[in-house]
């Protein structure tokens, strides 16, 4: 699904030099490379503050921790997607309010979003799924109308750009009150282990997030709030700082690969190909198709027999997961998310995907449907 080694080989000398520099300095925790990477990522995103941390789940948890929410306050989250956002909501004794998926983009649906908002609703977590932005302009309008926080999860869409109706552009994660991301190796900007970051333009929130990530202290042994221990180590920061320079090129390579898939598969009636929203660029963390007529699992098995990896993101919506039984709230049946879980299939997608390899994948998919 992802060829991380081939990606590394192209920038091996830069990565190796950056790693060696950290080893020589022995500043493995909170070394100068962490601040340098944070500053460079802030410049790329166009935000005032970037606070690196241990992983994307910690980023989401700390974003919620600094908002002074109370037990049983409600946070709106999509039911179709990875567990992390809903998990940290529940972990902090808040109520996940789960919303259905959009029929085209897989992102959170806005069709019924406003009716989910109650006096207990305090925040919305839009998750920019598979590589493109949610409909952030109407989400921000709702947040202003009801005085809600917006925490963006752009773990799968770092580098995507949102265009507002007035032509203004902002990077995914830099639109709401707080943005969160993951640097898991398979992400568009991935490190060589675990890592994450929180970003914001709000000075007070940034200060609280920094303290939260550092045991609640602003100076050593002076603990002002309850926090946790969540750090991006210097080795990972050094690697990420090198790769950040190539992020736009990586996005372009993924987009080119996506267009090759689309051109090769567009005539197959039983496949619905990814929809590209007009307001967002698409950085294709995943190339996810919908397989009609109940043939998804058969296609997956066929590809496996040919040595072609594929993956189902995601096989079960969050509102049907046992962990959330009895603790969520919803308004609708969430039928579309459930349907998606039986249809979606993600094909190999990475920066080193060669046209010849893609053509082999395309040919095998065509053979499955056309015989």
Q: Is the pTM of this model over 0.95?
A: yes
Joined together, the tokens standing for residue 323 give: 């962990």
The pLDDT value given to residue 6: 96
DSSP 249-310: HHHHHHHHHHHHHHHHHTT-TTEEPPPPPTTB-B--S-EEEEE-TT-HHHHHHHHHHTT---
Other CB atoms within a 10 A radius of the CB of residue 353 amount to 23
185 within 8 A of 172, measured Cβ to Cβ: no
The pLDDT value given to residue 292: 96
What is d(CA 323, CA 74) in angstroms, rounded to the nearest whole number? 17
What is d(CA 137, CA 176) in angstroms, rounded to the nearest whole number? 10
The pLDDT value given to residue 117: 96
Tokens 């987009």 belong to which residue?
255
HSE of 192 in the Cβ direction (CA atoms, 13 Å)?
19
The pLDDT value given to residue 265: 98
- Helix runs in the chain, H state only: 4-10, 12-25, 32-45, 56-65, 84-91, 136-146, 203-213, 234-244, 247-265, 296-305, 335-341, 355-370
Q: What is the pLDDT of residues 15-72, one digit of tens each?
A: 999 999 999 999 999 999 999 999 999 999 999 999 999 999 999 999 999 999 999 9
The pLDDT value given to residue 371: 77
Could you tell me what percent of the chain has a pLDDT over 90? 98
Tokens 């898939």 belong to which residue?
261
Coil, strand or helix: which one is 228?
coil
Question: Of 182, 303, 346, 243, nearest to 4 (Cα)?
Answer: 243
Q: What is the pLDDT of residues 215-248, one digit of tens each?
A: 999 899 999 999 999 999 999 999 999 999 999 9
The pLDDT value given to residue 107: 97
Which residue ranges in the chain fall short of pLDDT 70? none
Phi, psi (deg, nearest 5) at residue 326: 85, 0
DSSP 163-192: E-TTS-EEETTSSSSEEEEE--TTSSS--S
What is d(CA 100, CA 107) in angstroms, rounded to the nearest whole number? 9
């Amino acid at each position: 699904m992802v060829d991380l080694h081939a990606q590394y080989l192209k920038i091996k000398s830069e990565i190796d030099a950056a790693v060696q520099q950290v080893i020589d300095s022995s500043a493995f925790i909170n070394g100068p490379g962490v601040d340098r990477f944070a500053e460079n990522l802030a410049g790329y995103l166009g935000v005032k503050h970037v606070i690196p941390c241990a992983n994307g789940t910690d980023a989401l948890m700390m974003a919620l921790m600094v908002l002074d929410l109370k037990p049983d306050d409600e946070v709106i989250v999509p039911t179709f997607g990875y567990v992390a956002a809903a998990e940290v909501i529940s972990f902090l004794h808040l109520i996940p309010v789960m919303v259905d998926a959009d029929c085209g983009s897989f992102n959170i649906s806005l069709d019924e979003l406003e009716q989910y908002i109650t006096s207990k609703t305090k925040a919305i977590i839009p998750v920019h799924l598979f590589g493109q932005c949610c409909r952030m302009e109407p989400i921000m309008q709702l947040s202003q109308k009801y005085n809600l926080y917006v925490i963006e999860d752009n773990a799968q869409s770092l580098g995507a750009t949102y265009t507002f109706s007035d032509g203004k552009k902002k990077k995914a994660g830099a639109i709401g009150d707080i943005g969160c991301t993951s640097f898991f190796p398979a992400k568009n900007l991935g490190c060589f282990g675990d890592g994450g970051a929180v970003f914001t333009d709000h000075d007070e929130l940034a200060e609280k997030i920094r303290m939260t990530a550092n045991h609640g202290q602003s100076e050593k042994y002076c603990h002002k709030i309850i926090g946790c221990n969540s750090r991006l180590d210097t080795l990972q920061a050094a690697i990420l700082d090198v790769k950040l320079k190539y992020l736009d090129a990586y996005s372009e390579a993924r987009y080119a690969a996506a267009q090759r898939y689309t051109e090769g598969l567009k005539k197959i009636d039983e496949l619905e190909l990814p929809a590209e929203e007009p307001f967002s660029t698409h950085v294709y963390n995943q190339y996810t198709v919908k397989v009609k007529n109940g043939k998804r699992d058969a296609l997956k098995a066929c590809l496996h027999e040919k040595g072609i990896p594929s993956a189902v993101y995601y096989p079960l919506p969050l509102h049907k997961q046992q962990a959330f039984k009895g603790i969520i709230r919803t308004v609708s049946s969430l039928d579309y998310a459930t349907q998606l879980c039986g249809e979606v299939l993600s094909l190999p997608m990475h920066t080193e995907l060669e046209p010849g390899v893609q053509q082999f994948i395309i040919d095998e998919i065509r053979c499955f449907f056309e015989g």
